[in-house]
Amino acid sequence: MRRRLSLVDRLTIALPLGWLGLFLALPLVAVVALSFQGIADSIPPIRPLIDSLHGHLAVHATTRAFRIIGSDALYTRAFANGLLNAAMTTLGCMLVGFPLSYAMARAPASRRSLYLFLAILPFWTSFLLRTYAWMGLVRDSGPLNSLLMGLGILDAPLPILYSPAAVLLVMVYSYLPFFVLPMYAVLEKLPQDLLAAAADLGARPLHAFRTVTLPLALPGLVSGAVLVFVPAVGEYVIPELVGNNDTLMIGGILWEEFFQNRDWPVAAAIALVTFLILMLPAAALRRWSGASGAGRA
């Protein structure tokens, strides 16, 4: 089946490879270089890595940025916060998203595409506006508190807005589609006859679920979890809008180093460390899915 690459083939390869190499790989190289640079009182506010001021080349690499983020508890706490928040968000998406995907996948075939459409549609509406909507829903005088107080469950409004709980709630809400889509895709393809066979052989529904459904659904669960966890680690907008001082995370400190402190090397070091932390689970997933894919084929 293999044929020689035609000129058209070469162009469809070269265009994306060239563009992404220039505008996606090169920025990462720039960030790595920058994280080893010193600061200067100039525009841009960095000391060049190499200069040839007195006729010979001088290299000014420094580990200053890494020493700063390693020695200040503010940064380690922000990293811990970001990772913890992403882990809780992933767990929340699983708890909400798995039953939802399962119910969607078990629905009659004629209804499934409608449900899938309904699950995707919020994803098309502005993410910022949906976060904003939650601010209105959970504020002290908002519908949620009014409802709980009207039902007599609460005497005074629950201060949810500007708290870690609000961050978690909105994170789970916003990242839910990233979990539901891969999860649903796997559950929908689950062969029904396997469950029927398990039932015929006397397995109770819960036993069949644990020994048949869950192992087969695992690839969807893992890719959904990674798709939620990895971007969630660096989330900036949600903690900024609905969180408080306790919810300063990686995205927040990078933003502040860049926009407020104008310390580009420290911002670059934060970016580099985050990137390295995130590449580990992503690489693990690739290995894992590559191995299982090879096993199936």
Partner 1 sequence: MSVRGHRWRGVVLALGFAFLYTPIAWIVLFSFGGDAGESGHPGLSLHWYRALLENEDLKDAARRSLLLALLSSPLATVIGASAGIALARLERFPGRSALIALLAIPIFAPEVLLGFAFLMLFATLEALTGWPQGKGLLTLVIAHATLGASIVASVVYARVADLDRSLEAAARDLGARPLRVLATVTLPLAAPGILSGWLLALTLSFDDVVTSSFLAGPENTTLPMAVFSSVRVGLNPEINAIGTLMVSTIALVVGITFAALRFGARSRSGAGAGAAPARRGS
List the interface residues with partner 1, window 45-64 (CB under 8 A). Answer: 48
Q: Which of residues 120-149 bind partner 1 (CB under 8 A)?
A: 121-122, 124-137, 139, 141, 143
In the complex, minimum distance from the CB of residue 155 to partner 1, in angstroms, rounded to a whole number: 18
Contact between 87 and partner 1 per CB under 8 A: no
Contact between 27 and partner 1 per CB under 8 A: yes
Give 158 or 277: the residue with its C-beta nearer to partner 1: 277
Contact between 274 and partner 1 per CB under 8 A: yes
In the complex, minimum distance from the CB of residue 276 to partner 1, in angstroms, rounded to a whole number: 11
Among 50, 44, 21, 49, residue whose Cα is nearest residue 34: 49
Contact between 33 and partner 1 per CB under 8 A: yes
Integer angstrom CA distances of residue 274 from 2, 80, 254: 40, 11, 10
- Candidate ranges 51-59, 61-69, 70-78, 119-127; the one touching partner 1 (CB under 8 A): 119-127
3-state secondary structure the chain: CCCCCCHHHHHHHHHHHHHHHHHHHHHHHHHHHHHCCCECCCCCCECCCEECCCCCCEECCCCHHHHHHHHCHHHHHHHHHHHHHHHHHHHHHHHHHHHHHHHHHHCCHHHHHHHHHHHHHHHHCCHHHHHHHHHHHHCCCCHHHHHHHHCCCCCCCCCCCCCHHHHHHHHHHHHHHHHHHHHHHHHHCCCHHHHHHHHHCCCCHHHHHHHHHHHHHHHHHHHHHHHHHHHHHCCCHHHHHHCCHHHCCHHHHHHHHHHCCCCHHHHHHHHHHHHHHHHHHHHHHHHHHHHHHHHHC
Q: Which of residues 224-253 bind partner 1 (CB under 8 A)?
A: 226-227, 230-231, 233-237, 240-241, 250-251
In the complex, minimum distance from the CB of residue 218 to partner 1, in angstroms, rounded to a whole number: 20
Distance CA(71)–CA(32), nearest Å, equals 20
* Interface residue with partner 1, options 68, 87, 91, 107 (CB under 8 A): 107
* Interface residue with partner 1, options 75, 173, 175, 184 (CB under 8 A): 173
Binding footprint of partner 1, residue count (CB under 8 A): 87
Give 154 or 185: the residue with its C-beta nearer to partner 1: 185
Total length of the chain? 297
* Interface residue with partner 1, options 58, 61, 103, 194 (CB under 8 A): 103
Q: Which of residues 184-223 bind partner 1 (CB under 8 A)?
A: none
Distance CA(35)–CA(213), nearest Å, equals 47
- Candidate ranges 8-16, 56-64, 69-77, 212-220; the one touching partner 1 (CB under 8 A): 8-16
Contact between 31 and partner 1 per CB under 8 A: yes
- Candidate ranges 53-61, 68-76, 92-100, 206-214; the one touching partner 1 (CB under 8 A): 92-100
* Interface residue with partner 1, options 68, 87, 100, 158 (CB under 8 A): 100
Give 100 or 165: the residue with its C-beta nearer to partner 1: 100
